[in-house]
Amino acid sequence: MTIDEIDRRLLTELQKDATQSYAVLGQAVGLSAGAAHERVRKLKAAGVIRRTTVEVDPAAVGVGVLAYVLLDTDAWMGEESTRRALRDIAAVEEAHIVAGPASVLVKVRTTSTEALQGTLRALHQVDGVTSTQTVVVLESFFERPPTVM
């Protein structure tokens, strides 16, 4: 699917507020409500829009400890079994195969440093993981969704 300027503007508007009506959305980009709805439907069908969700303040729901953990390994970690094992650890929000000083980078949110320690234990149990390096975030300046170029 080719993304044009109207699609980019739709995506930008949806990232600001995905709950707005198609009438408001269409007005913002110069389309009718029906045309805006059809474009959004096509963007979803093409996988450009993966999901519609709500952004929640992690601290407000009790998971205020954020850490990034590098996993050192003795094997290739790109298999489905690794994906499943990492997905099964509830505190893991993201997992990425990376190039650099480690094989995998995971983003973890927990309720406390004690819970983080438990998550690190669980990460050590993943087949192939030999050690971890953890960076605990003290304060986040900002987080933002991907910029639609």
What DSSP character marks residue 69?
Answer: E
What DSSP character marks residue 102?
Answer: S
Domains delineated in the chain: 5-45 (1.10.10), 59-137 (3.30.70.920)
Q: What confidence tens digit (pLDDT) does each residue in 106-124 have?
A: 999 999 999 999 999 999 9
**pLDDT value at position 144?**
83
Q: What confidence tens digit (pLDDT) does each residue in 56-108 have?
A: 899 999 999 999 999 999 989 999 999 999 999 999 999 999 999 999 999 99
**How far, in Å, CA of 58 to CA of 131, rounded?**
27
Pairing of strands 129-137, 92-97: unpaired
Kindly report the pTM of this predicted structure: 0.83
**pLDDT value at position 55?**
85
Q: Checking phi first, is residue 100 left (phi over 0); if not, alpha (psi -120 to 50) or beta?
A: left
